[in-house]
Amino acid sequence: MPKNSKVTQREHSGEHVTESVADLLALEEPVDYKQSILNVAGGAGGKQEAAEEELDAEDRPAWNSKLQYILAQIGFSVGLGNIWRFPYLCQKNGGGAYLVPYLVLLIIIGIPLFFLELAVGQRIRRGSIGVWHYVCPRLGGIGFSSCIVCLFVGLYYNVIIGWSIFYFFKSFQYPLPWSECPIRRNRTVAVVEAECEKSSATTYFWYREALDISNSISESGGLNWKMTLCLLVAWTIVGMAVVKGIQSSGKVMYFSSLFPYVVLACFLVRGLLLRGAVDGILHMFTPKLDKMLDPQVWRDAATQVFFALGLGFGGVIAFSSYNKQDNNCHFDAALVSFINFFTSVLATLVVFAVLGFKANIMNEKCVVENAEKILGYLHNNVLSRDLIPPHVNFSHLTTKDYTEMYKVIMTVKEDRFSALGLDPCLLEDELNKSVQGTGLAFIAFTEAMTHFPASPFWSVMFFLMLINLGLGSMIGTMTGITTPIIDTFKVPKEIFTVGCCVFAFFVGLLFVQRSGNYFVTMFDDYSATLPLTVIVILENIAVAWIYGTKKFMQELTEMLGFRPYRFYFYMWKFVSPLFMAVLTTASVIQLGVTPPGYSAWIKEEAAERYLYFPNWAMALLITLIVVATLPIPVVFVLRHFHLLSDGSNTLSVSYKKGRMMKDISNLEENDETRFILSKVPSEAPSPMPTHRSYLGPGSTSPLEPSGNPNGRYGSGYLLASTPESEL
C-alpha cells in the first residue's frame, strides 16, 4: 500500500475509511499503453478503435493556461451582437425594463445551460458530435446539427468582418469619406448626389459606396468586387488563426479578446464628455414598465441569451474539451456569463452616450432648418410677427424657444398648420429612432463619429474593435466545426481547416452580391434561430431526462470535487426545458403568423421599405432550417432501428497510470448491463466514475485477478465488481 494512501494514514485509527478505487490506482506507476490493454467481448471490429479513442483523449491538446482558455470563451461569447444587437433591443423593448427579462432568462436558462455545455465538453473531452453520441447515441445528430448551424453563421458572420475591414481602411483619411455627400458635375453645374441629399451622407455611403445595394433580393446585380476582396482578407485572417487549432487560436485570443475592452473604455470616457451624453444614457435606462409584459420582449431576450453565450453552436463544448478534467468549469460559467453581461451593458452605455450626443446635434440642426422656414414665412407675410414671442432671438435660437414658438403657431394656425411643414424638433423623437444591427454600427455610430475631434482616429479604433470582436467569435464558430469533425473522422487538422475556409469563401460570395445584405438578414434573423433553439432543448433533455440529472450531478461532484448547487438540478430538469419549449412554440407561431421579410433600400426613394421574401427565398429559408435540424431525426431513426451502429458490441479496457478506462457499445441494453457489469439495468451504475467505499486493508482489491486460467486476455478479472472507469 502506498505510504501516502488514506488507508495507510488511518489504518491504525479505528475509523471507517472511504477511498475511491480511482484514488488508489492513481498512485500506481504508469504503465505502457500498448502493453496494458484488456479486451473483453466477442466482437473484433471495434476493440482497438475504442482503446485508441481513449488514449487519444489523454494525448489531446490542452490550453497553455487557464487565462488563455477564459479569454477564448470570452472572445467567442462576446461578439458583434453585444455592440449593436443588445443596445438596439434595449432601445426597442423599453430601455431599462428590458434588463429585467434578460437577467431572469440569463439566470434560469443561460448560466445553467452554459455550465452544462462546459461540463459535458470537459468531462467527455470531445467535440459536439462525440459528446452527444456518448450521452445519448440516438440523439447523436445534435452534434451534426450544431456543425451545420456553425457553418451557416460563419458564412455571413465573416462577411460582416469584411464590411468592418472595408470601413477600417477607409478611415485613414480626413475628412472621413462618409461625412459629406458627394458632388456630381452636370456639365458646368455642380449638384449634390440626389440619393445622398434625400437621406444622409453616412446612409448613402453605407448603401451605395460600400454595399452598392440593389432594390430587392430578387435583383442580384452581380458581385461587389470591393467586398469580395474584403471577404477574402477576412477568411485569410480566420484561416491563419485556426489552422493549428488552439495552439494558434489561443495566442490570437490575448489580443482579440482584450483589445475591444480597451477601445470600449476609451469610447466610454470620450462619450461621457460629449454634450448630450447624459440625455442618451437617461433615455436608455428609463424603464417603460408596460414592455415587461410583452411576450415579444421575452422572446427577444431569450434569443439574445442564446446568441450571447454561444449556446448550441458547439464552440463552448469544443473549447471546454481541451481542459483538464479537474478544472472548475462552474466558476468559468459564472465568470464568462458575468463578463458577457457586463460587456453588453458597457457597450450600451457607450452607444447611448454617443447617440445622445448625435441626437442633440440633429435636434439643433432641425431647429435651425425650421427657424429658416419660419423666417421665410414671416418675410412673405404668411405668418404674422405677432405670433413670435418677444424674447425669441433668431440669431441665438434655443430648442426651448423654438418649442414655445412652434406651439403658438400650431395653436393659431390650426387649420393650415400642416401646410407649413414645420417639425416639432423634439429630442425624445431623435432618441427614439431605433437603428437595428448593422445600421447601428455602420450608419448611426459612424455618423456620430464624424462630429468627434480627430474623427479618423476614433473611426480606426472603432472598426478595429469590430474586427477583433468578430474574429474572436469566428474562431469559436470554426472550432465548433473543425473539432468535432476531426475528433470523429480523424481527418488531418490543417488540411481540413484550410479546406473549410476555402469552401466557406466561395459559398460566401452569395453575400457579397449587390443583393447580399438581404441574404445576411435571412441567415441572421431566421435560418439559425429556430434550429439553435431546438438544439439547446434537446441538449437539455439528453442530459436531464435521458442520461439522468442525478447521475450527471454525481459525476459533476466527482469531477469538480464539490457538489453543484441544487439550483442547477431544478433548472436542468424542469424550468429550462419548459421555458425553451415555450420559446420554440412562439418562434414557430411567429413564422406562421408574420411572414418573414427584410428592409430593402430603394434607390429612387432613398429610403428603406419593408418587403416580404419572395416564394423562392421562402423555399430557400425553409430548406436551410430543415437542413440544420435534419441530422437529429435521421440519426435517431437509423439508430433506433439499428441501421446505424452506435459503435458498441465491445468492451475495451485500458490501463494508464493505474486508471482503468472502458468503452461499451453495440450490445443490447440489457445484455450490456448484465454481461459487463453483472447488474440488472435498474442497478447499472454510471459510465462515468463514482466513488466506492473501501472498508479497510483486509478487503480484496476488485482488480485482483481470479484463478481463472484465461490470464491477461481472458475474462479472469472480476468484472462484476469493477468500478466505473474514468472516461
Q: What is the largest CA-CA distance in the chain?
A: 118
Q: Is 11 helix (H, G, I), strand (E, B) or coil?
A: coil
Percent of the chain whose predicted confidence (pLDDT) is above 90: 46
Structural domains present in the chain: 82-184+191-346+436-644 (1.10.4160), 362-432 (no CATH)
Confidence at residue 559, expressed as pLDDT on a 0 to 100 scale: 92
The residue type at 580: M
pLDDT digits (tens, 9 = 90+) for 476-494: 999 999 999 999 999 999 9
- Summarize the annotated binding site for Na(+) as residue ranges: 75, 78, 82, 340, 469, 473
For the chain, the C-alpha Rg in angstroms (whole number) is 31
pLDDT digits (tens, 9 = 90+) for 409-468: 888 877 788 888 888 888 888 887 766 667 888 988 898 899 888 899 999 999 999 999
Strand order in the sheet with 37-40: 37-40, 650-656, 659-665
Confidence at residue 590, expressed as pLDDT on a 0 to 100 scale: 79
Confidence at residue 436, expressed as pLDDT on a 0 to 100 scale: 64
The model's confidence at residue 58, banded by pLDDT at 50, 70 and 90, is low
pLDDT digits (tens, 9 = 90+) for 688-697: 444 433 333 3
Measured distance CA(230)–CA(163) in Å, rounded: 7
The model's confidence at residue 647, banded by pLDDT at 50, 70 and 90, is low
pLDDT at 681 over 60: no
Tell me 308's DSSP state: H
Answer positive or negative: Cα dihedral of 355, 356, 362, 363: positive
CA atoms within 13 A on the CB side of 667: 20
Note the Cα 354 to chain centre separation in Å. Answer: 26
- Summarize the annotated binding site as residue ranges: 75, 78, 82, 340, 469, 473
Note the Cα 284 to chain centre separation in Å. Answer: 24
Vertex 114: Cα angle to 110 and 116 (nearest 5)? 120
Residues 557-565: what's their mean pLDDT? 92
How confident is the prediction for the chain on average, in pLDDT?
Answer: 81
pLDDT at 86 over 50: yes
The model's confidence at residue 567, banded by pLDDT at 50, 70 and 90, is very high
Percent of the chain whose predicted confidence (pLDDT) is above 70: 80
The model's confidence at residue 194, banded by pLDDT at 50, 70 and 90, is confident
Measured distance CA(252)–CA(243) in Å, rounded: 12
The grid coordinates of residue 654 equal 485500458
The answer to whether the peptide bond before residue 687 is cis (omega within 30 degrees of 0) is no
Q: Which residue has the cell 452616450?
A: 353
